[in-house]
Each structure stands twice: as C-alpha cells, then as structure tokens.
Structure 1
Amino acid sequence: MAKVIPFKAVRPTRDKVSLVASRSYQSYTQDELEARLDYNPFSFLHIVNPGYKYDKQITGTERYNLVRNRYLEFKEDRIFIEDKTPCFYIYKIVNREGQSFSGIVAAASAEDYKKDVIKKHEDTIEYREHIFKDYLKTVGFNAEPVLLTYPDNNVIANIISETQKERAEYEFTTHFRDTHYLWVVNNIQAIKNIENEFKSIDTIYIADGHHRSASSYLLSETLKSENNSHTGNEPYNFFMSYLIPESNLKIYEFNRLVKDLNGLTKEAFLIKLDAMFRIENRGSELYKPNNKHHFSMYLDGEFYSLYLRKHNYTFNNALDTLDTQILYKTILEPILGISDLRNNKRIDYSHGKNDLVNIKSKIDQGEFAVGFGLVPITIQEMKAIADENLTMPPKSTFIEPKLRSGVTIYEF
C-alpha cells in the first residue's frame, strides 16, 4: 500500500515560471551557466549557484547556507508563493519529438522507501547520499522531484484527463522546445480519490532519482531522531516525487565507448569475441541492434553485429538477462579489463537520444577505439531487477520525462 499525499508547494508566480525553471545545474556547460546567470535574474540557478553573486566558487556548508539565503530572498521578493492548502499537481510535458508525458507531483513516503514499497534498481554511493542529506537539512527544501512509476490505473488516468481539460496554471516552452504544463488539484474529492488509488497499489518503482530518494530517507531518520514530538506526519517524512504510469515512461539505452582494446590488436580482439558471439561485418553503414542479446559494435571504420552464443552463457536471474550485464560479463570485464564501470576513465557512455552517429564520430576522431550499441531495457526488466533486490550496472537506462527544477518546491 503506497502512501502518496498532497502538499503545499512553493512555486513561481505564473508570470515568472518560464524564467525561474531550469535544468539540473550539472547539465549546463560553463558558458551556458554564465549566460543564464548574467541575463536572467529570476533563474533558479541563482539559488543553487549562490557564489555567483560574489564572483566566487563556494562549497560545503558555506554554500548550503547561501543557497538557503537566496531561496528566502526569492520568497521575500514574491517570486515564489506557497499554496494555502495541500494540493496535488498534474504535470505534463510535450517534447520536441511530440511525445507527451503526464503524471502527478506529490509527496511520497520515506517509510515506504524503507519498507520496499518504493523499490529501487540502482546502487547508490553512500558518501553522495550523506552529502545530499546534509544539503537538504541545511537548505530546508527540495526543488527536483524523484521520478516514480506505478502500474497504469484508470481512476488516476481519468482524474488527470479531466483536469487537463481546464486551463493550465502554467504553460511554458523551453529552449529545447519542450512545452511544460501544470495544473493545481485542490478539489477535496479529487485529492481523496488520488490518495485512495495509490493506497491500492502494492509497489511503485524509482525510475530516476535513486540518490535523492536515499538522501530523503536519511534526512527523515535524522530529523525524526531530533524531534521528541515526532508523529510521522511531519513534512520530513515524505519527499517530492513525480509519479507517472508505466506505459507513459520512455526508456532509452546507454551505449558504451571504450578508449582502447586493452593491448590487443583488432584481429586478436575479434577472435576473443568469437568465443561468446556470432560476429558479422556490416560495413561502414550505421547498424543498430533490434533484439535482446544482440549488440552493434563500431571498430576501425566498420560496424559489426554481435549475437550472443546463448549456449555459452548462463541465465540465473533477472540481472543475467540484462544486456548491459551481458556486455559487462562477456566483453568489458574479461577482454577489455574494465571491472569498475563507475570510475574507470577508459569507458564512457552515450545515451540513445544521441544516436550511433555520435559513437561513430567519436571513434573516427580517435577519442575512442571501439563502441557498442544496445537496445533499450524495458520497464518489465527494470521491475524484475527491483523485485529480485538486484541492481543494474551503472548507466543502464536513460529515462524520460525530465522535469525542470524550481517549478514546484517541497519544504521540510
């Protein structure tokens, strides 16, 4: 039984939302970041980059405190307002390719994360969990929801559909030509219906935001231990999430690029591959795999298809059937000598929205020696990994939608 509740969002005024909303600040190049900070005084980037005001790089606790100050200034200047009653928020994105995503921004239970009602499929790095927990505790808010997915539900779908017939509170288009819409759901009966429907759902899954979920849980445990009057209903017991039905999730593959052949010649490398794969040379034309356990490879100006020799590979669990794991266990680790996929500098990743032209270009330019193309992981595979308490290799999925920071803010 999932506990999903409404909350009183702090959010931009309608006239400024397009100016406030930003991508995650790590996604900007330095030039892009400086341009937005120079020319847009309302950007949420001013809050998360408080050192800009002093032309100084600031880190650690000093930065956290300044983030808090910038945030309070945005509230004092009425750039941000707070809803008077707890609400759900219907959020819709239509991207430049015409794909549409609709879901609900709400508060999900940190206790559900602990009890595995909210399931994960990725490992987290402990020190990153604690860094972000400390950040959240100091600044007192979260502005980027965790992406959760739930089984398709007709009642919730009808509420979303009916709500979207009304005029949106927000409607704005980004530089990427994605159009964002937000509706405020403050009708008491609609709120009750949404809560009850989520109570009927046994399991929801983290699609994106594993570290934010883990940090939010750590924060709830910390603040609970510090509160002698803890009831379980305090805001810190929940974390802001964007819940989207499984059928509306878009999963792209993450392709792999490797800088060298680990001391092997091209011929020796191909011979080693032959033990686990049936190999066909596809020439210089772009070649993309289209089935599970089927990979494309670009090497020395030519594409190859690699078909797994299944009689040489054992499937014991959901992880063993995952193409990213197969590539790791048959090529990356034993042949190319890459055991640490997170930290080895010889490997890089290119998500499926950057097509195989990107891989070909980087290899032709000499940045990498070989590239591997995969097919996307399915929602069923992702759920199977989570259900078996397993974890995917790093960079197994690139998932859409991607929300903007600063559109809805959750205070603890």
Structure 2
Amino acid sequence: MAIIRPFNGLRPTEDLAAKVAARPYDVLSSEEAKAAASGNPYSYYHVSKSEIDLPEGTDTHSKPVYDKAAENLHRMVQEGTLFLEPQAAYYIYKLVMNDRAQTGLVCVSAISDYNNGIIKKHEFTRPDKELDRINHIKTTKAQTGNVFLAYNDVPEVNALVDHWQEHNKPVYDFTAEDGIQHTIWVINTPAAIQDITTLFAEKVPCTYIADGHHRAASASLVQAAFEKEGKITSVDNPVNYFLTTIFPASQLAILDYNRVVKDLNGLSKEALLSRLDYDFTVEEIGHLPQQPSMLHEFSMYLDGRWYRLVAKEGTYTTDPIGILDVTILSNNILDKLLGIKDQRTDKRIDFVGGIRGLNELVKRVDSGEMKVAFALFPVTIQQLFDIADSGNVMPPKSTWFEPKLRDGLITHII
C-alpha cells in the first residue's frame, strides 16, 4: 500500500506566490525561461533554470549552473521570499484550466515505494537527464520539481479533500499568465493529517507516475548514494522521500503528443501515400487542420494538405502496448517507412505537445524545418494504468498532461 507523509514545505509568502511560480524546468528552453524571468528576481526559474543568470553559452549541465541554483535558493530564503512551514503538513493543490478543475494532494512519497513497484512507471529514463537532476538535488539540497502521480479514486480521500477546501481559506489563489488558476490549502491539523496518511495506507494499493519519471528516478538514486555513504541515520530522513502531488484518475486529462519528421527517408510524396495504403485507409481532407476523433485514427500534414489515416485490422495487436496509437505509428510508419528506429535518439524526429495545437505542426512543416507531421488521438488514463500494471513501458513522448503544476510553490528540503 502507498506510503505518504506530510512535510515542512519551503514556500513563498502569499504576496509573492504568483511571482515565484514557474513552469516545470523541462517544458521550456533556457531562452524562454530567461525571457519569462526578466525583471522578476522572485521567479523560481532562478533556481530551476539558473543558467539564465550566467553568461550566454554556459553549459546547462555544468557545476556553475548547479552552484548558482543553490546560491539563488539560499538568497530567496535569506531575503524572506521563501519560508519553511513551521510544522509538517499536507497541501491541497487545485488547478483550473478552461473551466476544468483537478485537485491533488501534495505530499512526500516513499522512495521505497518507487523502488518496490508500489509507485508504477510507464516510461524509460535517460541517464543524462537523471544525472542532471541528481546534481541539482545534491547541490541545492532540495527537490525543487514535483512528481505528478495518479491513483484510482478513493471516495473517502475525495470527501476529506473537498471538506477541507469548503471550510478553510487557501494560502494561495492566483491566475497565471497562461490563464491557469492555482489554489493551494495547507492541511495542518493532527487529526486530518492522520486520516489522510491512514487512508492511503489502507485504501491505495499503488500510484502511477503521470509526469516526472526523471525526477522520481533521480530522487531514488540520490537516496541510494546517501545510504551508501552512511548519511542516512533514520527512516524519517527526508532523503527517503520525494516530492509528489497525487491526483485521482477521474479528474485527469491527457492531451495528444504529436510528431514531426525532417524528411521522407528518400520517398516521394506519392510513394509515401501509396505505401501508407497497405496499412491504413488514407483520405485527403484538405487544408484545414483536423484532430483525430478516435483511437487508431491519425491526421497527417504533408505538402500543404491534411490526410486522415485509419489503421486497418492486422496492423496492431490487442496487448496493452500493441494497441496504442503511438505503437501503431511507430511500427507502421516511423520505422517501416521513414526508417526511424529509436525515437529517443534519432535527430530526424521531434515531438510537439498537444497544448501547442495542430497549427504548430503546420508551422514546423511549412517553414521547411520539417517535411511531414502526424497528429495522434490522446492516450487514455486507463491505457496508462494498464501498461504500468503489465510492467511494460510506453514509446517515448506518449502522454502530455495539462494543466501542469508550478515549480516553486512548494519545495522539499532534504
């Protein structure tokens, strides 16, 4: 069963929360972060993307970057921008995007649950990205990025969270520049804390990583290193836990994660369309973008035109991985026709989160940067659970969750 704990969160004063809050470090470039933090010394990008405060061209994975992150975090504490919660607490984090709300519980989850498979994964991680987060955690002595977990709804947990929201005032409530509303409550009474801890221990057999595989893996590796070095003297040591926000599955939405490819692997447009006809029903649909409306349907943009591709029977299997649209696309188009064997390393392919819309695919192709684009129907939360339960992993860049948690609102000090 799931082991979660309250913790003393490091968080901003109420008047500065909106200025501190920053998008996750891995969803924007250094240039975008620098622009977003311009004129704002309170921005958490000074911690999560600290290269913005160093000379242009600085290696983002170099020691000066991690040292600067630690320096900036210390400065924000010393100046009173951030303060440590006086007692261990849970936090409720509600996000509202386009009138759709999702509410999660901010806590620390046990590294042992991650290592033992109680916290289930659905993606591979890359050693270079793990090392980046390891160095950031060790240098700042903090977990600055939140791991987004999901679980099958427990009515008693939902009821407790709803009751707390109804009868208590939030500590933060603001709408960010992208229109997403962020509201946070602190749960700090011993009875409520005990009820939550017990409910998860008795009613939640497992949780699933929705977003943040590298943050979770890095926290585990840091804990292992500390243990090997004899730095952990108590099971309650903060390094035995990592920062998570856990959402009930019924409230979550997954957006599409689309692909753009630089060339047609030596094929002409006509040859590609002809070969696609073996595995797909192909229909030209014109100049206007059209989102796939169901599983196994794809939209392709090529040479100024959109096409609807519907996978034929026999092109996929019914196992948890084989039935995924990302698998169908990978096997029958990217690999078979375009020669892309490993999407994690092939430089001819790039990925576009659905939050950017289909017009971003048009832009990338019409600019000449890319030759062809593919839009997919989103993976369902149940498909994600099925794959994690089976012990399999999804192809890379299969899911895009929105809205995203903001960094800086709650940090876990280790």
2:246 and 2:8 map into 1 onto residues whose CA distance is: 17
1:353–1:32 Cα change, 3 Å: closer
Instruction: Indicate conservation of the 8 Å contact 2:298/2:309, yes or no.
Output: yes
Shift of residue 202 of structure 1?
Answer: 0.9
| 1:357-382 deviation digits (Å, cap 9, x = unpaired) | 33234333333222222111001111
Measured at CA, do residues 29 and 390 of structure 1 come closer, stay the same or move farther in structure 2, by a change above 3 Å?
closer
Deviation for aligned residue 1:134: 2.7
SS of the residue aligned with 1:394? coil
Helix, strand or coil: the match of 1:239? strand
Specify whether residues 28 and 308 from structure 1 end up closer, same or farther in structure 2 by C-alpha distance, changes over 3 A only: closer
1:250-308 CA-partner distances (Å, limit 9, x unpaired): 10011222222111112211121111112222233433321211212222232222221
Deviation track 1:340-393 (CA, whole Å, cap 9, x = no partner) reads 212222222222223323323433333322222211100111111111111111
Aligned equivalents of 1:33, 1:305: Cα separation in 2: 36
Q: Does 1:245 align with 2:248?
A: yes
| CA distance 1:114–1:32, shift in 2 (3 Å) | closer
Secondary structure (helix, strand or coil) at the match of 1:377 reads: coil
Q: Any idea what SS the aligned residue of 2:15 has?
A: coil
CA distance in 1 between counterparts of 2:295 and 2:54 reads 52
Contact kept? 1:130, 1:218, Cα under 8 Å: no
Residue 256 of structure 1 pairs with residue 259 of structure 2? yes
1:63 to 46, 65, 88: 65
Q: How do 1:226-305 residues align onto structure 2 when only pairs under 5 Å count?
A: 226-227=229-230, 230-305=233-308
Q: Deviations over 1:25-80 (max 9, x none)?
A: 45455665444544112222223455655656365233323322221222122211
Partner Cα distance (2:289, 2:231) in 1: 63
Please name the residue that 1:332 is paired with: 334
Q: Which residue of 2 aligns with 1:104?
A: 105
Please say if residues 249 and 401 of structure 1, whose CA atoms lie closer than 8 Å, have aligned partners that are also in contact. Answer: no
For residue 130 of structure 1, what is the amino acid of its counterpart? L
Deviation for aligned residue 1:313? 2.7
| Alpha-carbon distance, 1:147 to partner | 0.0
Does the Cα contact within 8 Å between 2:93 and 2:182 map onto a contact in 1? yes
Counterpart position of 1:42: 42
Is 2:112 the partner of 1:81? no
Alpha-carbon shift at residue 24 of structure 1 (Å)? 2.9
Distance in 1 of aligned mates of 2:78 and 2:139: 19
- Give, as a single letter, the amino acid of the residue that structure 2 aligns with 1:136: I
Structure 1 residues 193-252: Cα deviation after superposition (integer angstroms, max 9, x where no partner): 111111121111000000000000111111122226633221000000011100111100
Q: Which moved more, 1:254-263 or 1:219-228?
A: 219-228
Q: Structure 1 residues 129, 364: closer, same or farther in 2, change over 3 A?
A: closer
- Equivalents in 1 of 2:53, 2:347: separation in Å? 34
- Do the aligned partners of residues 260 and 11 (structure 1) sit closer, same or farther apart at CA in structure 2, a change above 3 Å counting? same
AA aligned opposite 1:47: V
For 2:190, the equivalent position in structure 1 comes to: 188
Deviations 1:88-143 (A, max 9, x none): 00011112x12212111100011000110000000001232233213212210012
How many matched pairs? 410
Change (3 A) 1:28 1:336: closer
Which residue does 2:216 correspond to in 1? 213
2:249, 2:43 → 1: CA distance?
32
* Cα separation, 1, equivalents of 2:269 and 2:55: 50
Tell me what 1:358 maps to. 360
Change (3 A) 1:360 1:64: closer
Q: Give the Cα–Cα distance (whole angstroms) in 1 for the partners of residues 344 and 105 of structure 2.
A: 32
Map 1:123-202 → 2, pairs under 5 A: 123-165=124-166, 166-199=168-201, 200-202=203-205
* Structure 2 CA distance for partners of 1:268 and 1:178, relative to 1, 3 Å: same
What CA distance in whole angstroms lies between the structure 2 residues aligned with 1:374 and 1:299? Answer: 15
Conservation of the 8 A alpha-carbon contact between 1:377 and 1:397: yes
Partners of 1:124 and 1:31 lie apart in 2 by 25
Distance (whole Å) between structure 2 residues aligned to residue 66 and residue 320 of structure 1: 45
309, 313, 321: which one pairs with 2:312?
309
| Letter aligned with residue 292 of structure 1 | L
> Which amino acid letter does the alignment assign opposite residue 93 of structure 2?
Y
Q: TM-score, normalised by structure 1?
A: 0.94
Aligned-partner residue type, residue 14 of structure 2: R
Aligned to 1:92: 94
SS at match of 2:281: strand
Contact 2:321 2:387 in 1 (8 A): yes
Q: Percent identity?
A: 35
Hey, what's the Cα distance between the residues in 2 that align with 1:159 and 1:360? 46
Alpha-carbon distance in 1 for matches of 2:31, 2:311: 44
Quick check: 2:148–2:246 contact (8 Å CA) kept in 1?
yes
2:15 is equivalent to residue 15 of structure 1: yes
Structure 1: gaps of 5 or more residues = none
Which shifted more, 121-130 or 318-327? 121-130
Classify the secondary structure of the residue corresponding to 1:375.
coil
Q: 1:211 to 1:274 in 2, by over 3 A?
A: same
- 1:145–1:228: structure 2 CA closer, same or farther, 3 Å change rule? closer
CA distance in 1, matches of 2:28, 2:231: 42
